[in-house]
Each structure stands twice: as structure tokens, then as C-alpha cells.
Amino acid sequence: MTYSDAIKNGFRLVNKNWQLVLIQFGMMLVNCIGFFVFVGIPLAVAFVIFGLDLTEMTELKNLLGTMKDATEIITKYLGLIIVLVVSFVVYLLVAASVGLYVFGGSAGIIGRAVRDSADRFNMNTFFSEGRRLFWSLAGFTAIIGIIFLGVAFVIGVFAGGIGVIISIAKGYETTLAVVLGIFLSLLLFCIVLALIISSIALALYGTAAIVLKGTGPWQATRDTIKYLYRSPAALWLYCLAFGGYILATFLLVLLGAPFSLIPIIGAIIAIPYQIFSYAVQSYLGLVIVAVIFIYYFSTEVKPSEMPDEGTEPVSGNSTPLSDTSQNQVSEPETPLR
């Protein structure tokens, strides 16, 4: 399958299942309401219980700016800090669970549509796929999180090494240090970009393996690493899709920038424009998932499901017919009299 075919089919698939974009938008509203419920309300209650007022918060801002007596600040506002931290952690857990459930349902719907183009969005199927894939995606997310921590550690090691090399070069010649600084900074940028893109590609193709092949989190991680090593074209496809997403996001930000320059009307127009921007970004994000799923299915899943030699594949739900040309018994000829 070519890149253009995968991209066109990805747009068609998401257009046929446009309800997924509305669900993404609804998840955003749920997260906003959840932040108010799990963080805003407990914080307001804490203000009342601990006898705090907003005038003290201005004093707290000044004290935090000077950082002269951090111990006194923590002691005075310890209850408020504990409530804020606990509420925020609970909110993060709830938001992550909802996001994972919605992503699992969306990925399941896309996976079913990839296997059968006649399959359309259904709310019961969405909830069923969300439940089916929740724990698998949770385990896979934990593995990807560990990988990202490893990537961050590698980036930190590279950055520290570059700093040491530049500091040594400054002892010999300033011009050499400047040239080395520019070169090594560009090298670090390329390494960071390659590691981040590879990690995100691993996450998406691994999700495709879980959805389309039904493998577990650890097996999906190993299979995806082998797949990306065997098929670098899959990684380049993600780079192309990721670049298109970044370009579209940049254009949306660029088009929305003039609204901030208009005093009153700009603030009013900016609200629906932000909603429109989020809808477009959600749509493009689903298209990227669909493109990755389609390409992975055509290059990894479908070839492994091809029938063996001697079996003729037929479309639809029909059972493949075996080739019986070798075993066919000819009718006995009538003896001549």
C-alpha cells in the first residue's frame, strides 16, 4: 500500500465515523468539568475550612517570588497545599482513565472499520471496545511511559556531555567553543527529535497491534519494535503524518493570532475559534490513527492472514474454497462395445 492510499483511506474512514470527533469534544468538556469538580470545589472548601482569603494569596505570591522564607509558607499553608495536591492527583487519575477509555473505544471503532469497510459507528460498540481495550492499553501506556523516561534520561546524558565538551573547548579557544556549541546543539536537536518521533510511532503502531491482532501489551511492544525495524517505511509514514499535523496546528495558531489584537470583539471571537481549532486537531489526530491502522493492517496483519497455497481467497464472509484440481476424480469413461 502506498502512502497516498493510506492517507486517503484514513480520511474516508474518519469521515464515515465522524461521531468520534464529537466524542473527543465531549471528553474535553468532561475534563473541564472534572477539573472544576475535583480541584476547584475542594480548593474553595479549603479556603473556608482553613480561614483563608484572597488577600493572603497576594501575600503568598510575593513571598514565593522572593523565596526568603519557604518554610514559613509551607507551614502556614500546609493544609491548602495538601488539599490542592490530593485533588490534582485525583483529577489526573480520573482524566487519564476517561481519556484512555475514550481512546480505546475510538481505536476499537477504527480497527473494526479497517477490517470491514462496511462497519459504521455504533455507541454500544464504542463502549464495548472501550471496556475490551482499557486494561491492555493501560498496561501498554505504562510500558511507553517507562520508554519515555529512558528517552529523557538519554537526552539528559547527551545534554550533559555536550555541556562538558563545550566547557573544555572554552579553555582552548572561544571560536572553537562557539562552533562546537552550534554543531552539538543541532546534533542534540536531531537526536531528541528522532527519539521522540520513534517513541510516539512505537506507541501508535503498538496500539494498532493490540487492536488489530489482539496481542498483550508486552508482546505488542516487542512485535512493534521488530516491525519498525523491518519496515522503516512505516516510520516514514508516521513522520509524514506527524509533519502534516504540526503544519496544520501552526496554521491554526497563526490564523488565531490576530484575534488577540482586537480589544473586545477579538476575545469574543477567540472562544468559538478555539473550539473550532480543537475540533480540527481532534479530527486530524483521528485521521493519523486511522492512517497508521490501515498501513499496519495492510503490511503486517493482512499478509499473515493470507490463506496458504492451494486456497483461493474470496471476499466477504464466505469460506475460502480449497483448490481441488489435483484431487478431482474424473468420471469413468463408458467402455466401448
Quick: pLDDT tens for 142-189: 999 998 898 888 888 888 888 888 777 777 777 777 788 888 888 888
Least confident of 71-85, 108-122, 206-220, 233-247: 71-85
Residue 76 pLDDT > 70, yes or no?
Answer: no
Q: Read off the pLDDT band of 259 (50, 70, 90).
A: confident
What are the tens digits of pLDDT across the range 266-292?
Answer: 677 778 888 888 888 889 999 999 999
The pLDDT assigned to 165 comes to 80
Residue 27 pLDDT > 70, yes or no?
Answer: yes
The pLDDT assigned to 337 comes to 40
Query: Average pLDDT of 123-150?
Result: 90
The pLDDT assigned to 54 comes to 54
Query: Average pLDDT of 63-82?
Result: 59
Q: What string of DSSP letters covers 246-298? A: HHHHHHHHHHHGGGGGSSSHHHHHHHHHHHHHHHHHHHHHHHHHHHHHHHHII
Closest CA to 204 of 280, 93, 294: 294
Instruction: Please provide the average confidence, as pLDDT, over all residues in the chain.
Output: 79
The pLDDT assigned to 179 comes to 80
Least confident of 67-76, 77-86, 169-178, 216-225: 67-76
Q: How far apart are CA 107 and CA 210, in angstroms?
A: 10
Alpha helices in 77-173 (DSSP H): 78-115, 123-170
